[in-house]
Amino acid sequence: MLGTLQPKFQRYHRMITVLLQGFSSGLPLALTGTALQAWFTQAGVDIVTIGLLALVGQPYIYKFVWAPLMDRYAIPGLGRRRGWMLLTQIALIISISIMACLSPIEHTATLAFVALFTAFLSASQDTAIDAYRVDLLPIEERGLGVAMSVAGYRTAMFASGSLSLIFAAYWGWQVTYIIMAGLMLVGIVATFFSPILESDVPPQTLRQAIVEPWREFISREKALLVLVLILFYKLAEAFTSTWGPLTNTFLLRGIGFDLVTVATVNKGMGLLANILGVFAGGLLLTRMSLYRSLLLFGIAQVLANLTFLMLALVGKQLNVLILAVSIDNFTSGMGTAAVIALIMSLCHPRYSATQFALLSAVAALPRVVVGPLGALIVKFASWVSLFIWASILALPALGILYLLREQVKGLATAP
Q: What is the pLDDT of residues 12-56, one digit of tens each?
A: 899 999 999 999 999 998 899 878 888 888 888 887 787 777 788
Tell whether the model's pLDDT for residue 173 goes beyond 80: yes
C-alpha span between 99 and 189 (Å, rounded): 23
Q: In the prediction, which pLDDT does 210 show?
A: 87
Q: Which structural domains are found in the chain, ordered by start?
A: 2-202 (1.20.1250.20), 210-413 (1.20.1250.20)
Q: Tell me, what amino acid is at 44?
A: G
Highest-scoring range by mean pLDDT, 5-9, 127-131, 134-138, 268-272: 127-131
pTM value > 0.85:
no
Report, as an integer, the average pLDDT of 152-175. Answer: 88
- For 205, residues 6+ apart whose C-beta sits below 8 A from its C-beta are 72
> Which SS3 state, helix, strand or coil, does residue 317 take?
coil
Q: In the prediction, which pLDDT does 331 show?
A: 93
Report, as an integer, the average pLDDT of 92-110. Answer: 95
Question: Which of residues 81 and 7 earns the better pLDDT score?
Answer: 81
Q: In the prediction, which pLDDT does 1 show?
A: 39
Q: What is the pLDDT of residues 209-240, one digit of tens each?
A: 889 998 999 998 889 999 999 999 988 777 76
- Going from the C-alpha of 138 to that of each of 81, 121, 125, 283, 333, the distances in angstroms are 16, 28, 22, 15, 21
Q: In the prediction, which pLDDT does 253 show?
A: 80
